Structure 1
Amino acid sequence: MSLRSTGTGTLPKKKSSFSTLPHTEKLIIMPRQVDPEKDILKNEIKILKEKIEELNLRVEEEIMNRQILENELQQPIEIPQYSRTIRRMHRDSQSNLIDDQSNIKEEVDQYEDVEFVEISLRDLIQLKQKHSALSVSLESANEQITILRQQIDQSADSLLEQKQKVSTASKTNEANNAQSNSQKKLEKKQQDEELIQIQQLNKKLEDMKKNSKETEIANKQLKEQVAKLEEGNKKLSELNLILQKKAQNTETEIEQKNKIIQKKDEEISELTKTLKSNKEESNKKIFHQQEIINS
């Protein structure tokens, strides 16, 4: 019995890759890349192989049982040949085994050796039962063998499908590895650029450390200037307070002077009215006197 699928369905083991660095640098061992999908497929293929081996063992066992049953059925029935009727019963038991116990008793009643006939009859009945049981067992074994063959065919189809999946996954993995290598090169280039930038920054930092004394002096001068500015701001604030107070006092004086001026304006207005009235009366008197003189 052979499977329809061929091959083991396993992928070659991938060697671990090591990064090559100069002898002055520390050797870094890169871990093997784990592909979960590939591991799952490997486990499934392993389980299928175990199932197929188990099915093969069961098939071989059923075939051996079947051969044993066939050998037992082919063996002749050892019954003393005392009469033609007994021989006929023996042939009938081998061909169809459908004789009925009552019919057998009626056929052997004519013989004198009834005890021997009953013993032979019991042997025939037991043989018939054994033959029936063996026939049923053989049919069951045939059915199981058929089922096992179907399962083996299905397992072979599944194994072939798994092999195709593994092949597809292998191709995909190769494409991913190529893409990963390209990505690694790009990352290596970026790392080199970042390393150059870091070296430049370190150089700038060293230059800044060299000029740290000048920076400290400049910071000290800056602090002194800030202190002077704070003192100037403080004096300016005090001056603003003084000016605000003076401005308030000036506004008060201006209001008072405005009130005095307003009062004087009122007095001047009254005097103006009085002078005007007096002038009118004086004019009237002068006009009256002139009239008198003229008359």
Structure 2
Amino acid sequence: LFVEASNKKQRKIYSYFKTAEQQPKNGSIEVAKSEQDASTTNEKTKVVPALMTQPKISAVSNLTRYLTEKSWRIEISAEFSKPYFREISNFLEKEYQDGKTIYPPKNLIFNAFNLAPMPQVKVVILGQDPYHGAGQAHGLSFSVPVGIEPPPSLKNIYTELTNDIPGFERPSHGCLTSWAQQGVLLLNATLTVQAHLANSHANIGWQNFTDAVIHALNDSCYGVVFLLWGAFAHKKEKLVNRKKHVVIKTAHPSPLSATKFFGCRCFSRTNEALVRFGKEPIDWRLN
């Protein structure tokens, strides 16, 4: 009887521990299984970063990234958030998407600013809109790249320079980059144009932007000479404080009005004004 009772007691103890193994305390095995299932689910649903998930670059950012000169970005960055500038950016983006040819190339739209930092600007030559022929426009008013035939207006500018500036020799090219590098802001009132359609972008908002540029120069600089050629440019005179700056108004060098442009001596008069302001005159020579 003693042996049988002892065996029953051992079986009871064994049964207790076996049950404990089958039903673990705090549900640890169930928790582990749950974690394993969750891990498997996460692996299946994990989102792998891809290019298509990156935020789309706004039309404004896509345009203004080509304005790389720091002083100008600081001075006129407030314009980029204004409704009119968003309209310009959206308009151009749609034109590009529709396959239209726009001049100048995107990377040269702000070429005038990138070549002439704001603190170095001494002269502004204001044009109306870019040349609309293939390869002509490169972001500088009246200028064309080397290798492109100088347009008629530029040829007339060279004629006046020959008569006005001692030692000036008519160059074989029409590139005015060296002027820009000396602080001549070669600014078009409208910065883009559709190929072969003069003034096609005149009403998309660019003049709001370039007027803001003139305001900035007027307010932040001293002793800038503004060369305003023709009736369109003359309208910008009201943006300039003539107590701080000099405005020289002449006829436009276009063949239609060149006879009135010739003899204006605007280039030598510009240098005379710069000397009065204590600034270095412009070397107008291009050879």
Same fold by TM-score greater than 0.5: no
The structure with the larger Rg is 1
- With structure 1 as the length reference, what TM-score do the two structures score? 0.17
Relative to its length, the structure with more helix (as a share) is: 1
Which structure is richer in relative contact order (CA contacts within 8 A, separation 6 or more)? 1
